[in-house]
Amino acid sequence: MESTQREFLDALLETASPSGFESAAQRVWIDYVEEYADDVRTDEYGNAVAVLEGGDQSVALTGHGDEIGFMVRDITDSGYVQLTPIGGSDKTVTRGQHVRIHTADGPVPGVIGQTAIHLRDRDSEETADISEQHVDIGAADAEEAEELVERGDPITFEQRVSELANGRIAGRGLDNRVGIWAAAEGFRRAAESDPEATVYAVSTVQEELGLRGAQMVGFDLDPDAVVATDVTHATDEPGAPGKESSGVELGGGPSVARGSANHPNVVEAVREVAAEADIEIQLEATGTRTGTDADAFYTARGGTPSLNVGIPNRYMHTPTEMLELADLDATAELLGQFAARAEAYRFSVDF
């Protein structure tokens, strides 16, 4: 990965983007893609679309720009901040973590309290729901806390990206800022190939709340095919239960999903592109749903041929999500190669 592309990735990972509060990260994304686009536009909720004008055939490379997090639900008389989750936040990994409350006046640091092990009754320990946990910002009482934060302010874990062995990184919110990195970088690589098809790059909002942004964009954009890029579970770590094993592992390249939302013609086209471009991929079974924006795109406007491409990711929805940079770069290359060759494919099914 070249320095410019790594700087773009780092900028995305350093920018908080909890669902409903994605504007800052969307701005980072737009600043990158607009150099290669004929046009960039946003809608009322912040979905961002870059366009490279070409022929009548059109394909969209997409990812969602939001991440899970929390919000300030209430403030106690003693000045503690009570929480409500944004998206699928995991109550088992929250306590004892450093957080940032993102206010209109800037971030306010805090910690999610965890009673010391010496003081807890360990014979009856249960993991408290997020609504029963609290953030300590050091305030003496409610009045002091309310001078610093407001109800409805979003909260994220304090950002830290660790560089690990074998070109791997770990941090919070790789889901799915790495997906919008891949969509933007695939778009850039497609632009350098002067594709015949019209190519869109899309960064959606509020995927973690139920694919909301994709529902908006899918109706408005109406492309001939969509590739929705998101993280997918790498089940090559010791804690993954055998019944959930997918065969997807770090270092094996992006996954190409089959079944449910994944249109067989788009699947075949992407597999052909990967083989011709010598890009290693992994196949993934999605018998009922993908759990990604592909599930919204494929039902838009009576049906849009769609595909979910996955970036292998360990420890999803924790502060220590992990991926291999080679997988991420290969995902961008696959998207770019597909967009560059899309004019050669027809995605509708003939009977």
Looking at residue 115, which CATH number applies to its domain? 2.40.30.40
Please indicate, yes or no, if residue 227 is contained in any of the structural domains: yes
Residue 36 near residue 174 (C-beta atoms within 8 A): no
d(CA 318, CA 311): 16
Task: Kindly state whether residues 128 and 228 are assigned to the same domain.
Answer: no
Q: What sign does the CA torsion over 8, 327, 294, 192 have?
A: positive
| Chain-centroid distance, C-alpha 118 | 38
Rg of the chain's alpha carbons, rounded to an integer?
21
Task: Kindly state whether residues 299 and 189 are assigned to the same domain.
Answer: yes
Show the domain range for 107.
70-157
Q: Which of 124, 157, 190 is the last residue of a domain?
A: 157
Tell whether the model's pLDDT for residue 188 goes beyond 90.
Answer: yes
Q: What is the pLDDT of residues 167-183, one digit of tens each?
A: 999 999 999 999 999 99
Task: Kindly state whether residues 227 and 310 are assigned to the same domain.
Answer: yes
Q: What is the pLDDT of residues 269-294, one digit of tens each?
A: 999 999 999 999 999 999 999 999 99
Q: Identify residue 243 by its one-letter amino acid code.
A: K
d(CA 155, CA 311): 25
Annotated binding site for Zn(2+): 64, 175, 208, 230, 317
Q: What is the pLDDT of residues 45-87, one digit of tens each?
A: 999 999 999 999 999 999 999 999 999 999 999 999 999 999 9
The angle that helices 325-341 and 174-192 make with each other, rounded to 10 degrees, is 40
- Nearest one of 213, 179, 201 to 61, comparing CA atoms: 201
Q: Which residues neighbour 83 within 8 Å (Cβ) at sequence distance 6 or greater?
A: 70, 71, 72, 73, 112, 130, 131, 133, 134, 135, 155
Q: Which of 123, 157, 191 is the last residue of a domain?
A: 157
Q: What is the pLDDT of residues 194-253, one digit of tens each?
A: 999 999 999 999 999 999 999 999 989 999 999 999 999 999 999 888 878 889 999 999
The average confidence (pLDDT) of the chain is 95
Least confident of 10-19, 31-40, 66-75, 244-253: 244-253
d(CA 82, CA 151): 9
Looking at residue 349, its pLDDT comes to: 67
Looking at residue 244, which CATH number applies to its domain? 3.40.630.10
Tell whether the model's pLDDT for residue 184 goes beyond 90.
Answer: yes
d(CA 212, CA 70): 18
Looking at residue 244, its pLDDT comes to: 81
Looking at residue 169, its pLDDT comes to: 98
d(CA 70, CA 276): 44
Calculate what percentage of the chain has a pLDDT beyond 90.
Answer: 90
Looking at residue 156, its pLDDT comes to: 98
Task: Kindly state whether residues 191 and 307 are assigned to the same domain.
Answer: yes
Tell whether the model's pLDDT for residue 350 goes beyond 70.
Answer: no
Please indicate, yes or no, if residue 219 is contained in any of the structural domains: yes
Tell whether the model's pLDDT for residue 36 goes beyond 70.
Answer: yes
Please indicate, yes or no, if residue 167 is contained in any of the structural domains: no
Looking at residue 240, its pLDDT comes to: 86
Residue 223 near residue 58 (C-beta atoms within 8 A): yes
Collapse the DSSP code of 218 into the 3-class scheme (helix H, G, I; strand E, B; otherwise coil) and give the result.
Answer: helix
Please indicate, yes or no, if residue 256 is contained in any of the structural domains: yes
Task: Kindly state whether residues 269 and 299 are assigned to the same domain.
Answer: yes
Average pLDDT over residues 309-314: 98
Main-chain phi, psi angles of 26, to 5 degrees: -65, -35
Calculate what percentage of the chain has a pLDDT beyond 70.
Answer: 99
The catalytic residues are: 207
Looking at residue 123, its pLDDT comes to: 73
Main-chain phi, psi angles of 50, to 5 degrees: -105, 145
Q: How many structural domains compose the chain?
A: 2
Main-chain phi, psi angles of 260, to 5 degrees: 50, -115
Please indicate, yes or no, if residue 287 is contained in any of the structural domains: yes
Please indicate, yes or no, if residue 162 is contained in any of the structural domains: no
pLDDT band at 348 (very low <50, low <70, confident <90, very high): confident
Tell whether the model's pLDDT for residue 32 goes beyond 60.
Answer: yes
Please indicate, yes or no, if residue 245 is contained in any of the structural domains: yes
Peptide bond into 313 cis (omega under 30): no
DSSP for 138-182, written as a single string: S-SSHHHHHTT--TT-EEEEPP--EEEGGGEEEETTHHHHHHHHH
Looking at residue 301, its pLDDT comes to: 87
Q: How many CA atoms lie within 13 A of 313 on its CB side?
A: 26
DSSP for 231-248, written as a single string: EEE---STTS-GGG--S-
